[in-house]
Structure 1
Amino acid sequence: MLALPLRLGAHWPAVQKPLISTSTRWFVFPYPRNVSLNGNSPRDHFDRNVSRIPANSTSLTAKANDFVSVSLPKDSPLFGLEDLLVSFILGKKRATEVSHLVWKSVVQKGDTVIDATCGNGHDTLAMLKMVADESCKGSVYGLDVQEAALQKTSSLLEESVSPSEKELIQLFSKCHSKMYEVLPKDTSVRLVAFNLGYLPGGDKTIVTQSETTLKALEVAKSIMVPGGLISLVVYVGHPGGWEELKTIRDFISKLSVEKWICYEFQTVDRSWSPILIFLFKKC
């Protein structure tokens, strides 16, 4: 199924709130100009129906086979990554794989980045490889509330990076809502990444919470450098998962369209699959 955009920035600035609902299995792909919908372009369909499509409508649908050619505007921060994103939508790419490739289009050598939920450490490691340069500049701050997660992250880094690279990483046993406590004053950050839910292979009763995630997003917003990215992989198949997603969407709906470009993606017909959200701060 195809959902209309969550936020389209300069393309359709009149759209201020999401046209999606947690009760439907829609994914969002802003401005898919070449997708066929009953012979009409998505924009034509949108222009005619935006005022009367309810949030829980399932009237706008498209089959997976319709996604033959999809293009984004050249000024989109995701321009050139359409095939990758469609592969995720069709269930052919994992959320983490897509996230890492999107990060690479944003992060530069020597940048400061934050892994707000270390988990098993794979995101932390990917970030390090992106920021580390020959002069050993760049900084990665990793946070998690679970000691088990930090231990797994430390073990992965121990076996995967050089001693000089390891010096660029700092791990903290802290909630992501307190990331401001670990950053030097006036630090600007290129990327803040969240992997929301529970620790894979860990205690499934320990999950991220809507309240602290909202606080963390506010912090991430305040420290983000122009051209930077807030990246979220949101798992909803646990108690509180849908509520956390709603909190995130409410946060996004209040972002300025003059300053932020926001995208949300979900795999076709898999309501419990992870949801990808990218919040780009305009330059």
Structure 2
Amino acid sequence: MRNNRVWKHVVKEGDSLVDATCGNGNDTLAMVKMVAENSCRGRVYAMDVQKIALENTFSLLDKELSTDEKELVELSAICHCKMEEVVPTGVPVRLVAFNLGYLPGGDKTIVTTSETTLLALEAAKRILAPQGLISIVVYVGHPGGRYTFFFLDCYNSFLLEEFEIVRAFASELPVDNWICCNLRLLNRPLAPVLVFLFKR
């Protein structure tokens, strides 16, 4: 399942995009190619908490992009929940993409958490432009995907995995303003789940 096939139906040349967990840089590269195309306009804000992820992303972009295209990327060593500190106030963002879990080929003990992911989703909702998309890949077949988050009220105690946090967030978005769906392989229960939140 390739999420950037969906992105192409939303992203336009010259748009501003956010790669909230840039990892090894593949999504960042795809984003730059989408916004740059013929004009070399647009902006991609890519971030990660791991130094090695930023180094891997920089190396890939340095190899694959032209000098003009490289100017469209801003790399930041910051948690995805703080994306509003990176994206300038008032900039309409067309796409915010998340890959939740651990860095492929990296330290599997360093994972995204339900708490920071929920804050990041709230931030993405605030900066997303109308006709924009929040794209989320949740890797559920590893300890990061099973990170627990406690929510307490006077009646119940819920133990939610990171995917459940994402699903709960999406389920509460108003239907008049959002179209929300998830895609998963029924015969591969531990395969990544794709979640798309489209803002009308």
TM over 0.5: yes
Residue 31 of structure 2 corresponds to residue 113 of structure 1 = no
**What's the secondary structure of 1:199's corresponding residue?**
coil
Identical aligned pairs, as a percentage?
A: 60
Divergent runs of 4+, >6 A: none
Secondary structure at the aligned position of 2:30 is classed as helix
**Counterpart of 1:232 in 2: which secondary structure?**
strand
Three-state SS of the structure 2 residue aligned to 1:261 is strand
Q: CA deviation at 1:247?
A: 0.7
Structure 2: tracts of 5 or more residues without a match: 147-160
Q: Who is 1:176 aligned against? A: 80
**Secondary structure in 2 aligned to 1:128?**
helix
Secondary structure of 2:103's counterpart equals coil
Residue pair 2:129, 2:199 contacting (<8 A) in 1 also: yes
Q: 1: distance between equivalents of 2:61 and 2:28? A: 8
Equivalent residue, structure 2, for 1:224? 128
What is the identity, as a one-letter code, of the residue corresponding to 1:100?
N
Q: Distance in 2 between matches of 1:215 and 1:102?
A: 24
Aligned residue pair count: 186
Does residue 264 of structure 1 match 2:168?
Answer: no
Once residues 35 and 8 of structure 2 are traced to their aligned partners in structure 1, the CA distance between those partners, rounded to angstroms, is 10
Residue 255 (structure 1) aligns with: 173
Give the CA RMSD over aligned residues: 0.9
Separation in 2 of the partners of 1:218 and 1:107? Answer: 21
Instruction: Say whether 1:126 aligns with 2:30.
Output: yes
Matches of 1:122 and 1:258, distance apart in 2 = 33
Aligned to 2:198: 280
Q: TM-score, normalising length from structure 1?
A: 0.65
Indicate if the aligned counterparts of 2:13 and 2:39 stay in contact, CA closer than 8 A. Answer: no
| 5+ long unaligned stretches in structure 1 | 1-94
Structure 2 residue 102 is matched with structure 1 residue 198: yes
Q: How far is the alpha carbon of 1:269 from its aligned partner?
A: 1.4
For 1:122 and 1:224, the matched residues in 2 are separated by: 22
Q: 1:177-217 deviations in whole A, cap 9, x for unaligned?
A: 00000111211100000011000000000000000000000
Matches within 5 A, 1:25-64: none
How far apart, CA to CA, are the structure 1 residues paired with 2:16 and 2:88?
11
Q: Scaled by the length of structure 2, what TM-score is found?
A: 0.91
Secondary structure in 1 aligned to 2:143?
Answer: coil
Q: If each structure's strand is expressed as a fraction of its own residues, which one has the higher value?
A: 2
Q: Distance in 2 between matches of 1:185 and 1:274?
A: 32
Instruction: Indicate whether 1:241 and 2:159 are aligned.
Output: no
The 1-side partners of 2:196 and 2:89 are apart by: 26
Paired residue for 2:52, among 141, 145, 148? 148
| Distance (Å, rounded) in 1 between the aligned partners of 2:63 and 2:24 | 13
Once the two structures are TM-superposed, the CA of residue 133 in structure 1 deviates from its matched residue by 4.1
